[in-house]
Structure 1
Amino acid sequence: MQEAGIDFAYDSKQRLWVLEVNSNHPQFHPLKKLDPAAYRRMVAYARSYGRRDD
């Protein structure tokens, strides 16, 4: 495994919950509409280490 994405959250009692673990292909696309500049930075960074989703 070369990449991993982990989604987690804290509840009202400050307990940490792991919601989802993704390997190999974390998705940046939801960020594209929320923060286009951050999306472009993340894609550029991923491409700089060889990731291609074309």
Structure 2
Amino acid sequence: MAETIKGALDLSREESMAITALATAGIYNALEIYVLIFSTFRQRRGRYFWSMMVANT
């Protein structure tokens, strides 16, 4: 297999794997925070709820 991945950016395999791992961790953390927000707040109309939603988005 080729050592580099051709596309918009010329990245090595290690760089592509690092970017993928970090992006996956970030997406997982964002989804986990959404789950915690929706499980914590029973009423979804207060300012604190919406500030948490905006900050997470």
Larger Rg: 2
| Structure of greater relative contact order (alpha carbons < 8 Å, 6+ residues apart) | 1
| Greater fraction of residues in helix | 2
Superposition TM-score, scaled by structure 2 size: 0.30
Superposition TM-score, scaled by structure 1 size: 0.31
| Greater fraction of residues in strand | 1
